[in-house]
Amino acid sequence: MTSPLIERTDAAATAGARLRRVQPTLVLAILVLVVVLAWAVAPGFFTPVDPVQGDAAAALQAPSFRHLFGTDATGRDMFSRTVYGAIHSLSGAIIAVTVGLVLGTLIGVLAGSIGGVADDILMRLVDVLLAIPALLLALSIIILLGFGTTNAAFAVGITSVAAFARLVRSEVVRVRHSDYVEAAFGSGGRYLAVLVRHVLPNSLTPVIAYAALHFGTAILAISTLGFLGYGAPPPTPEWGLMIAEGRNYVATSWWLTTLPGLVVVLVVVSANRLSAALASRR
């Protein structure tokens, strides 16, 4: 066995080629998310108009160059409100995803790695959580915690814990029975070390993809709660609340509901597209 084998398989080369091929829808999705993120970070840069102060003389104006998204009944600029609303929706979605991801991963890893009775108990609890409709669960939690954007986001996060826990558990169980985990134990790896070094990193790819998907769902859920009046109080420019406020005028001033609604749809679809890209990258 003297000659070193140096031929390479082309698996690495094709993976590189797949990454380099530009996917237009993915680029568009990332662009949308970047713009919305920029709105959240520096809203003043995109619109000089105050989102809360209205100009009564310019109430209920249709979209124009002066007011891109039109104005509402008190003369507030809807585009400005949408831009300033990004921070509420995004931070809410980030809180929701973090809560779901962290608690769900914790439960899933515990259930999947300990197994046995602990697994049964944890997963039956998760089943109970899954059996309650998400919106009902979120509303109950908000009523317990009190109204507000942060509480609404937290509630939305709790509703996703069960789904995260299930996904993480199934991944942990799959990886735990793989040969390389057995080999790691055979190499003298201790239980926790193997869990952290081998099981967790190999379990998390689909979980990250699901987190991106849930990011979109969370924005939608937070907007739903805002629409129902369980989220931010008026006059906060929160997307769900804006749509709710506009629905009395839907017959005469379509832009009040339609344009913020379209922004929500765009962001959700973009998050889904990004999630699909993350999921296919293995």
Q: Based on CB atoms, which residue is closest to other proteins, 56 or 190?
A: 190
Q: How far apart are CA 34 and CA 26, in angstroms?
A: 12
Q: Based on CB atoms, which residue is closest to other proteins, 22 or 179?
A: 179
Decide if residue 116 touches other proteins (CB under 8 A). no
> Where in 217-246 is the site for other proteins (CB under 8 A)?
none
Decide if residue 76 touches other proteins (CB under 8 A). no
Decide if residue 7 touches other proteins (CB under 8 A). yes
Kindly write down the DSSP assignment for every residue of 102-134, as one continuous string.
Answer: HHHHHHHHHHHHH-HHHHHHHHHHHHHHHHS-H
Decide if residue 22 touches other proteins (CB under 8 A). no
Q: Which of 19, 131, 191, 252 binds other proteins (CB under 8 A)?
A: 191
Decide if residue 280 touches other proteins (CB under 8 A). no
In sequence order, the β-bridge partners of residue 77 are 71
Q: Based on CB atoms, which residue is closest to other proteins, 185 or 249?
A: 185
Minimum distance between the CB of residue 12 and other proteins, rounded to whole angstroms?
5
Strand, helix or coil for residue 1: coil
Calculate the alpha carbon distances from 68 to 61, 78, 101, 184, 205 in Å.
10, 8, 37, 60, 40
Q: How far apart are CA 118 and CA 124, in angstroms?
A: 10
Phi-psi region of 147 (alpha: psi -120 to 50; beta: other; left: phi over 0): beta
Q: How far apart are CA 76 and CA 235, in angstroms?
A: 10
Annotate 133-180 with three-state secondary structure. Answer: CHHHHHHHHHHHHCCCHHHHHHHHHHHHHHHHHHHHHHHHHHHHCCHH
Q: Which of 245, 165, 238 is nearest to 207 (CA)?
A: 165
Decide if residue 8 touches other proteins (CB under 8 A). yes
Minimum distance between the CB of residue 14 and other proteins, rounded to whole angstroms?
10
Q: Based on CB atoms, which residue is closest to other proteins, 147 or 174?
A: 174
Decide if residue 252 touches other proteins (CB under 8 A). no
Minimum distance between the CB of residue 277 and other proteins, rounded to whole angstroms?
19
Decide if residue 117 touches other proteins (CB under 8 A). no
Decide if residue 19 touches other proteins (CB under 8 A). no
Cα 243 to the center of its chain, rounded Å: 20
Q: Residues 151-190: x/- map of binding to other proteins (CB under 8 A)?
A: ---------------------------xxx-xxxxxxxxx
Give the residues lining the site for other proteins (CB under 8 A): 1-9, 11-12, 15, 178-180, 182-191, 193, 198, 201-202
